[in-house]
Amino acid sequence: MSAPIDSPGNPLERAPTVAVRDAILSADDLAELLAFAVAHETAFKPTGVGDAGASAPGLNAEHRVSRALPPRQFTPSRDRIAAIVAPLLPGILSELGMKAFDIARYEIELVRHNDGDYYRRHIDTHMGPSDEARRAVSLVYYFHAEPKAFTGGALRLYAVNRNDVFVDIEPERNRLVAFASWIPHEVLPISCRSARFIDSRFAINCWVRMTPPTLPKDQS
* Domains along the sequence of the chain with CATH: 11-48+98-210 (2.60.120.620)
Kindly tell me if the per-residue pLDDT of 88 is higher than 60: yes
Q: What is the pLDDT of residue 40?
A: 96
Q: What is the pLDDT of residue 52?
A: 40
Q: Find the distance separating the first CA and the last CA of the chain, reported in whole Å.
A: 54
Cα(205)–Cα(210) distance, integer angstroms: 16
Q: What is the pLDDT of residue 220?
A: 46
Kindly tell me if the per-residue pLDDT of 206 is higher than 80: yes
Q: What would the mean pLDDT of 157-171 be, rounded to a whole number?
A: 96
* pLDDT per residue as tens digits for the range 99-112: 999 999 999 999 99
> Burial letters for 19-38: b for 16+ Cβ neighbours within 10 Å, e otherwise?
bebeebbeeeebeebbeebe
Write down the pTM of the prediction. Answer: 0.89
The CA-atom distances, in angstroms, between 186 and each of 22, 116, 147, 158, 164 are 21, 14, 25, 9, 13
Higher-pLDDT residue of 127 and 51 is 127
Q: What is the pLDDT of residue 132?
A: 79
Q: Which residues make Cβ contacts (< 8 Å) with residue 151, sequence separation at least 6?
A: 190, 191, 192
Contact status, residue 15 vs residue 4, Cβ threshold 8 Å:
yes
Q: What is the pLDDT of residue 10?
A: 82
Give the three-state DSSP class for 69: coil
Q: What is the pLDDT of residue 55?
A: 36
Q: What is the DSSP letter of 214?
A: P
Q: What is the pLDDT of residue 99?
A: 96
The candidate with the shortest Cα–Cα distance to 168, out of 93, 177, 26, 149, is: 177
* pLDDT per residue as tens digits for the range 23-79: 999 999 999 999 999 999 999 999 987 654 333 356 778 899 999 999 888 887 888
Q: What is the pLDDT of residue 71?
A: 87
